[in-house]
Structures are given as C-alpha cells and as structure tokens.
Homo-oligomer: A and B are copies of this chain.
C-alpha cells in the first residue's frame, strides 16, 4: 500500500523512457534493456508492467497518434474564422514539434508499416473526418471569399508546409549549412509566413 505511489511513478518513468527510445529508434531499433536503463529500473519490470515489447510500443504509439490527431481536430473542426484556424494550426504544430522532434517521423514510419492503425483510430471518431471544416470551406467558397478546394487538399497543403520542415531538418542543416539556431529562426518565421501562403493560395 505504501508502494502504490511508487508504482505510478515507476510506470510513468518507464513510459517516459519508452517514448524517447521508441520515437528515436522505432520498434525494431529499440532495445528493452535500453529503455529499462534509461528509466533507471530493471528490464524485468518492463514486462511486469506491460507484459511485452509490443504492448508497450502500442501504448506509446496510440498516445502519439492521438495527440497528433486530436489537437488538429480541436482547432480545424471548431467554429473559428478560417484564417484564425490556419494561424492556430501552424502555431500548434510548430510548438508541438519544436519540443518533440522525433514525433512526426515516428508516427509516419509506424503508419507506413501498418496503415490499418490509422483507420482504427479514425473509425473510432465515426463519420466524416473534419465535417465542420468541410462545410466552412464550401460556405466561404459560395460566398466568393475563397477558391473551390476539397478538405483534403486544403489539409494537405497546410500540414505539408508546417510539418515537413521538421522532417528535413537534418537535410536542410547539412545542405544549406544552417546551424540549430538558424533552423529555429526559420521555424519561427514560418508561423507567420505559412498562414500567409495558405491564404494566398486560397484567394478566389
């Protein structure tokens, strides 16, 4: 009973370590030993808490994908004006990825190997993916404010310009001789520039 507090702390420590290692190295690159060491516990404890490597990985991945999806749904499917949604989406992803550089590649790699994980997660939010946004894009088009565009095209343009720079950070730094600081500055400038580009693209 005295140890119940310890349990939770230990379990959370393990999850934190697992997050870090799995996101950096993927399922096959990660080692249970490494996770245990990083968490400051013994390898056997991982199995005590999570039974198997696979189950531990699943937990980490669901969490990561969920964050990715729910955050963007929260913004894009709300009822703010379109331009505000655009600014907030860029800002939200920029913040998230600045603090967690390995996240996007981790999620995309895992989904590529196992695409039905995505379908399972979306199906749980039954129906259309971003219904409010879809309606908004149609309405704004009918009102003559923006050009005609499908929801998935709008979405892909927005997230491409926002997320892809993080994926190619090593490429950019190597190719254009940028320092860490230059890259950060570029990302910060893009919080302003990307929305402007998206709005430019939407002009009727």
The answer to whether A108 has its CB under 8 Å from any CB of chain B is: yes
**B-contact bits for A159-181, CB 8 A (1 contact / 0 none):** 11101110110111111111000
Q: How far, in angstroms, from A119 to B178 measured CA to CA in the complex?
A: 11
Q: Which residue of B lies closest to A114 (CB)?
A: B170
Given contacts A156-B164, A197-B157, whether A170 and B26 have CB atoms under 8 Å apart is no
**At the interface, yes or no: A113 with Cβ under 8 Å from chain B?**
yes
- Write out the residue numbers on chain B whose beta carbons fall within 8 Å of the beta carbon of A176: 129, 151-152, 155
Q: In the complex, what residues of B have CB within 8 A of residue A25's CB?
A: 28, 113
A8 to B145, CA, bound (A): 62
* Contact pattern, A 184-204, Cβ under 8 Å of B = 1, otherwise 0: 001000000000010011010
Among B27, B164, B165, the residue within 8 A (CB) of A29 is: B27
The number of chain A residues with a CB under 8 A from chain B is 47
Residues of B within 8 A of A203 (CB): 200
Q: Whole-angstrom distance between the alpha carbons of A163 and B165 in the complex? A: 11
Q: Check A112 for interface membership: any CB of B closer than 8 A.
A: yes
Knowing that A108-B167, A160-B164 touch, tell me 17 more A-B residue pairs with CB under 8 angstroms: A24-B113, A26-B29, A105-B109, A108-B168, A111-B170, A111-B171, A115-B173, A118-B174, A119-B174, A129-B176, A129-B177, A152-B175, A156-B168, A156-B172, A157-B197, A197-B201, A201-B201
**Contact assessment for B160 and A172 in the assembled complex, using a CB-CB cutoff below 8 Å:** no
Measured in the bound complex, the distance between the Cα atoms of B200 and A168 in whole Å is 23
Interface residue A142 (Cβ < 8 Å from any Cβ of B): no
Question: Which residue of chain B is the closest to A151 with respect to CB atoms?
Answer: B176
